[in-house]
Structure 1
Amino acid sequence: MIRKCNEHGYFRGETCPACGVEGRYVLDDDREERLGKFVSGALRHFPEDVGLKMDHHGWVSLGHLLDVLTERYRWGSKERLIALVTSDRKHRYEIDGKHIRAKYGHSVDVELESDYPENKLPSLYYGVSQEEVDMLLESGIKPIRQTYVHLSTSYERSVEAALVHTDNPVILEIDADSAQNDGILVITANQDIALARSIPAEYLSIVENEE
C-alpha cells in the first residue's frame, strides 16, 4: 500500500517510517502491483508496444506515459504514478523534469554508461545457483535477458537477490578494482546495484564464508 505523509511525502506501508502517522491513502496493494508491472514493462521491455518513444538513454516522455496509463487504468493518475516512483524502496525509476526512465533492468538496448558514476567499491557480488557456478567461473558473467549484468554492492544484497531464483545460492565475488583498472566499465545504478556489460571469468571467485 502507498500512502502520503504531509511532512515526509509518499511511503509504502501502514504508517510513515519517519514519523509514524497513517497518512492519506493513495494506492492499495492490488493497484500498486498492477501499476508497478505496467510501468516496469513500459520502461524496461516494450515501450513501442504501448506507443512510447524511448531515447538511447532509456528516457520517455512523462506526459505520454501518463496518457497511456490513464487510458489503460481508469483509476490511473499523475499522483499515483509519482507516488509509485518516489516511494519505491529499490529506487528502480527516476524522473527528470518532463521525462521518466527505469534506472536498470532493461531488455531493450539502452546506453547508461555516461549517465551514472563509475563504481568505487573494490568488490561486488553476484548470486548464482549451484548448477550455474562452474559455467560462470569458466566463461564469465554475461547478460541473458537484460542489456547489463546486475551486480550487488554487498554480500547481503546478493544473497537476497539470488534467493528469488534459487534456494541455495553460491555467491561470487567480483574483483571490481582489478576489472576496472583493466578497462572494464562498471557503473553505479543505486546504492544496491552496479551495472556492467559483462564480467570476464578471471575477476570472479567464490565467497567461501559470509563476511
Structure 2
Amino acid sequence: MIRRCQEHGYFRGENCPECGEKGRYLLDDEREQRLGRFVSGALRHFPDDLGLQMDLQGWVDLDRFCAVMKKRYPWTSEDRLVGLVESDTKKRYEIEDRYIRARYGHSVDVDLDHPVCDSEFLYYGVSQEEVEMLLDQGISPIRQTYVHLSTSRQRANEAASVHTDNPIVLKINALEASEEGIEFICANEDIALTEYVPSEFISIEDDD
C-alpha cells in the first residue's frame, strides 16, 4: 500500500515510518502492482508499443506518459505515479524536469548517463552451473541492455537467491577493469551497470 504523509512524503505501508501517522491513501497493494507492471513495461521494454517516445538516455515526457497511463488505467493520476516512484525502496525509476525514466532493467537500447561508479569491487550472483562458463567467457547481458552488478556481496546473494537455491557470488575487480577502460555506472546505491565484464577481472568471492 502507498500512502502520503503531509510532513514526510510518500511511503509504503499502513503508517509513516518517520512519525507514525496514517497519511493519505494513494494505492492499495493490487493497484500498486498493476501500475508497477505498467511502468516497468513502458519504461524498460516496449515504449514504442504504447506510443511513447524515449530518448537515448531513457527519458520519456511525463505529461505524455501520464496521458497514456490514464487511458489504460482511469484510476491512476500523476500524484499516484509520483508516489509509486518516490516510495520505491529499490529506486527503479526517477522523475526530473517533467520527464520520467527507469534507472535500470532496460531491454530496449539506451545509453544511460548515470554517474561513474568508483567502487573497488562489485559482485554478481549466479547459480553453481553458471560459474565455470562465466569465469571462462566473462559476463554479458542476458535479455537486458546492461550487465547488472551489485555493490555488495549481500545484495548479489539476495538477487541470485531469487533464481537459485545455492547462489555463488562472483567478485569483480572494478578498479582494475576501470583502469583498462571498462566503464561502470551507478544506477543507485545497490546496482552498478556495465556493458561487459571480461573474465580476467572475475573471481569467486570467499565466504569469509
Aligned-residue offset at 1:3: 0.6
SS of 1:132's partner is: helix
Aligned-residue offset at 1:116: 1.5
Aligned-residue offset at 1:208: 2.2
Aligned-residue offset at 1:118: 1.1
TM value normalised by structure 1: 0.97
1:83-102 matched pairs, under 5 angstroms: 83-102=83-102
Inter-partner Cα distance in structure 1 for 2:76 and 2:5: 20
Q: Which amino acid is the alignment partner of residue 83 of structure 1?
A: G
1:30-49 matched pairs, under 5 angstroms: 30-49=30-49
> Are residues 1:155 and 2:153 paired?
yes
TM value normalised by structure 2: 0.98
Inter-partner Cα distance in structure 2 for 1:188 and 1:99: 20
Q: Which amino acid is the alignment partner of residue 127 of structure 2?
A: S
Could you list the runs of 5+ residues in structure 2 that have no partner in the other structure? none
1:97-176 matched pairs, under 5 angstroms: 97-112=97-112, 115-176=113-174
**Poorly superposed stretches of 4+, deviation over 3 Å:** none
Could you list the runs of 5+ residues in structure 1 that have no partner in the other structure? none
The answer for the alignment partner of 2:82 in structure 1 is 82
Q: Which amino acid is the alignment partner of residue 158 of structure 2?
A: E
Aligned-residue offset at 1:58: 0.4
SS of 2:169's partner is: strand
Aligned length: 208
The answer for the alignment partner of 1:192 in structure 2 is 190
Q: Which amino acid is the alignment partner of residue 77 of structure 1?
A: S
1:66-77 matched pairs, under 5 angstroms: 66-77=66-77
Q: Percent identity?
A: 62
Inter-partner Cα distance in structure 2 for 1:117 and 1:85: 20
Query: Over aligned residue pairs, what C-alpha RMSD do you find?
Result: 0.8
